[in-house]
Amino acid sequence: MRRFDDSSFGHGWFQAAYSEDLRKGEVQPLTAMGREFVLRRDMQGQAHAMDAHCPHLGTHLGHGGRVCGTSLRCPFHGWQFAGDGACTDIPYSPNPRLEMRHLKSWPLVERNGLVMVWWHPRGIAPSFEVPAMPEHGDAQWSRYRRQRWEVATIWQEVQENIVDTTHFHHLHGVATLARLDRFEPAGPALHVNILHDFNTPRGRLPGFLQTSLYGPYFATVRFRIADLAEILFVDSVVPIEAGRVAVSFSLMARLQGIASPDMSLALIDEAIHQVSQDVPIWEHKMRWKRPSLAEGDGPIMRFRHWAEQFETEDEVPAPAPLRRIEIAAHA
Ligand code: FES
Ligand SMILES: [Fe+2]
């Protein structure tokens, strides 16, 4: 059964790796957006993302490709590619015509300890930036705790959760119904603030969930309860293929400047627990085009309207195969 109408891969920055996992000289395969990429960090420390398959005979460079200085060398016949995808060497050819060979490279930035790659179905250059979180690397905050799920759904369903104010109480058991304090689209960004009360060992206390989305695949979420506890995490959603996404959380707990660092750490467990409650819903739900919403629901349709800006482009079709020209035999 088809559960969603649109499983296209809208444009945006997506998390391709953790910076610390891609060491100098390392090459990694990556599947995202229904296609194959190769990631590498060259010997000068610069990370690069390119289409995976060698233009020569199609070898996947993420499997056996080697970093040579700033280039990537194909294991099959030794062709080399620079960071911008230009072919720099065909070691055996007396007439390599390098300018004719090219591998598509993708814009890449490293921010917040993450390798972020820009995806656009038509290959258009980045139209917004990945913000830096000053808390990352700050001694007041813990290092990232990582959690990853693979879910049979689309990115819209996962991110829509942010504005679904009523599910926090009913699915996740938050003490009171959430109140929407802010819903502010700003071009490719969307800022949402939700207030609710939590039952804590010190009684019922007010808290908030402050989310900023930057494109479809990257959000920062700040979750705080009074002056007791606070966490901040990256919510990353990466489509792997149509109808399947990887959801990765990179969570930091505030350990200083807060009354209960232990409770900050417990909030990390709580955030992870909440997603594990969302996953079976996402895995099986229908995405109604016109859901039967009730007064009191969160701004679901306003969220969808914001999300549509990323959904409209179709991928440029692959070039048509050359037509065979039939040569009529002379009688
Ligand atoms: S397939 Fe890559 S060099 Fe031949
Ligand atoms: Fe949820």
Please give the Cα distance from 136 to 231 (Å, whole number).
12
SS3 45: coil
* Structural domain spans, the chain: 12-119, 145-308
Torsion angle, alpha carbons of 160, 161, 163, 164, to 10: 120
Q: What is the pLDDT of residues 258-299, one digit of tens each?
A: 999 999 999 999 999 999 999 999 999 999 999 999 999 999
Q: Which helix (H) or strand (E) element contains residue 282?
A: helix 261-284
Q: Token pair 């970093």 is at which residue? A: 67
The number of the ligand 1 atom at minimal distance from the alpha carbon of 78 is: 3
Q: Is the pLDDT of residue 221 over 70?
A: yes
Ligand whose nearest atom lies closest to the CA of 63:
1
* Overall fold of domain 145-308: Naphthalene 1,2-dioxygenase Alpha Subunit; Chain A, domain 1 (3.90.380)
pLDDT score for 325? 41
Q: Residue 235: how many CB atoms within 10 A of its CB?
A: 24
Q: Is the pLDDT of residue 329 over 50?
A: no
Name the amino acid, one letter, at 289: K
Please give the Cα distance from 23 to 42 (Å, whole number).
9
Residue with CA closest to ligand 1 atom 1 = 57
pLDDT band at 328 (very low <50, low <70, confident <90, very high): very low
Q: Token pair 């109140």 is at which residue? A: 179
Torsion angle, alpha carbons of 5, 6, 7, 9, to 10: 180
CATH number corresponding to 12-119: 2.102.10.10
Residue with CA closest to ligand 1 atom 3 = 77
- 73 CA distance to ligand 1 middle (Å): 9
SS3 238: strand
- 124 CA distance to ligand 1 middle (Å): 27
Q: Is the pLDDT of residue 321 over 70?
A: no
Task: Give yes or no for a contact between 265 and 258, defined as CB atoms under 8 angstroms apart.
Answer: no
- 39 CA distance to ligand 1 middle (Å): 17
By the 10 Å C-beta count (0-12 exposed, 13-18 middle, 19+ buried), 236 is classed as buried
Residue with CA closest to ligand 1 atom 4 = 77
Q: How confident is the prediction for the chain on average, in pLDDT? A: 93
pLDDT band at 320 (very low <50, low <70, confident <90, very high): very low
Provide residues with CB under 6 Å of ligand 1.
Answer: 54, 56-57, 59, 74, 76-77, 79
Q: Residue 278: how many CB atoms within 10 A of its CB?
A: 20
Please give the Cα distance from 71 to 91 (Å, whole number).
13
Percent of all residues in the chain with a pLDDT value above 90, rounded to a whole number: 88
The number of the ligand 1 atom at minimal distance from the alpha carbon of 58 is: 1
